[in-house]
Amino acid sequence: TDSDTADEAVRATCDDASTCKRFATSKGYWTDLYVQYFVRQIGERKAPEINRGYYGRVRGMNLLIDAFLKKTQCDCQVVNLGAGLDTTFWRLKDENVMPKKFFEVDFPMIVARKIHHIKTKPPLSKPLIETHSTDSLRLDGHSLDSDRYCIIGADLRDLPALEEKLKKFQINPELPTLFLSECVLVYMTPEQSSKLVNWVADTFPAAMFINYEQKERFLSAGWESVNALDMMTVYSVLPQEDVARIERLEFLDERELLQQLLQHYCICWAVKDKLSLGEASI
Ligand code: SAM
């Protein structure tokens, strides 16, 4: 059907994102020790403005994620919506700043692929086994559950099913919870994405939502404070020695191209702090 074709195109965006991240890390824009296990080939060259765009995206998201973990002293959960082949969990494990539990959600087909990579690559599976209390991980084709990490196949447009699955994997709504959506909500209708964002606000008394998207998108209903920075601004608040370093990696002829690209995107974050953790100050 048409909608199957549309969903297939959406699922393909997961490869775009990881392929671009794989390429940019191979050039030295930032370090990601794990993306190579999800995308083997470095692949075709990407334009410098694309690499710089991804650099700002990843660095900007990480800044906010790390601030939340610090504020909550890791006594929290992270839920990565439309996680694709994202490697954040493994970075946090290496940096010794793991949340109580890290949840990932994506379409069952993507989840099955990710589980296959995890099962067959020891650098990916080892951290899960190490942080798990019993001998065997709970695992089937469409989900994997361990004490600190789980991955769930679900459609983010079907909220009752999503809620049920998160419960089954022991999400605790009383714990401060960080929701991530990196280039995900844009693939839903505004009604569908606002229902999702509202559901989070209604269900989690202490939460933060970080969304990387095109500028026009985020809604504030149910959230106490919402901030948005376009990527031009994010780029200018990142550590400037590092920005200078990556700008020397590849020559960029037309700076305007990069500016146009960065102006189209933003990172926004919304906070609900009913438990008064002081998250609003992030
Ligand atoms: N967040 C990852 C990143 O930035 O590297 C992947 C981004 S990719 C552009 C979008 C991801 O969202 C894909 O993996 C896609 O399968 C997922 N996605 C989009 N709509 C979804 C839905 N309705 N339910 C579950 N996953 C969805």
Residue 278 confidence (pLDDT): 64
φ/ψ of residue 24, rounded to 5:
-60, -40
**Cα separation, 178 vs 65, whole angstroms:** 8
Quote the pLDDT of residue 275. Answer: 62
pLDDT score recorded for residue 277: 65
Q: What's the rounded Cα separation, in Å, for the pair 126 and 174?
A: 29
**What's residue 134's pLDDT?**
85
- What's the pLDDT at 280? 56
Q: How many CB atoms lie within 10 A of CB 155?
A: 15
Q: Which residue has the tokens 């599976």?
A: 125
pLDDT given at position 142: 87
Query: Structurally, how many domains does the chain consist of?
Result: 1
* Residue listed under structure tokens 């990556």: 246
Classify 68 as helix, strand or coil.
helix
Q: What is the pLDDT along the chain (282 residues), one digit of tens a residue?
A: 677 888 888 888 999 999 999 999 999 999 999 999 999 999 999 999 999 999 999 999 999 999 999 999 999 999 999 999 999 999 999 999 999 999 999 999 999 999 999 999 999 999 999 999 987 788 887 899 999 999 999 999 999 999 999 999 999 999 999 999 999 999 999 999 999 999 999 999 999 999 999 877 666 778 888 899 999 999 999 999 999 999 999 999 888 889 999 999 999 999 988 666 665 566
Output the domain CATH number for residue 120.
3.40.50.150
Q: Work out the number of other CB atoms within 10 angstroms of the CB of residue 242.
A: 13
Instruction: Select from 7, 81, 87, 184 the residue to mutate for testing ligand 1; criterion: most ligand atoms less than 8 Å from CB.
Output: 184
ipTM exceeds 0.90: yes
Distance (Å) of CA 181 to CA 29, 62, 192, 242, 277: 22, 13, 14, 25, 22
Quote the pLDDT of residue 229.
93
Scanning the chain, the segments in alpha helix (DSSP H) are 2-27, 35-38, 48-72, 88-94, 108-120, 122-130, 159-168, 190-203, 231-237, 240-247, 255-264
Distance CA 262, CA 256 (A): 10
Q: Give the pLDDT of residue 281.
A: 63
Q: How far is the CA of 6 from the centre of ligand 1 (A)?
A: 13
Q: For atom 17 of ligand 1, which residue has the closest CA?
A: 82
β-strand partners of 181: 81, 211
Ligand 1 centroid from CA 86, angstroms = 10
For ligand 1, the distance from its centroid to the CA atom of residue 258, given in whole angstroms, is: 24
Residues in the chain: 282
**Ligand 1 pocket check: which of 10, 57, 62 to mutate, most ligand atoms within 8 Å of Cβ?**
10
Residue with tokens 């020397």: 248
Q: Quote the ligand 1 centre to 188 CA distance (angstroms).
A: 10
| Pocket lining for ligand 1, CB < 6 angstroms | 10-11, 13-14, 17, 82-84, 86, 106-107, 110, 155-157, 182-184, 187-188
**How far, in Å, CA of 258 to CA of 2, rounded?**
34
Helices 48-72 and 2-27 pack at an angle, to 10 degrees, of: 90
What's the confidence (pLDDT) of residue 279?
59
Domain residue limits at 154? 2-281
**Angle at Cα 97 formed by Cα 230 and Cα 274, nearest 5°?**
65
Measure the CA–CA gap between 185 and 29, rounded to whole angstroms: 26
- Sign of the C-alpha dihedral, residues 190, 270, 105, 57? positive
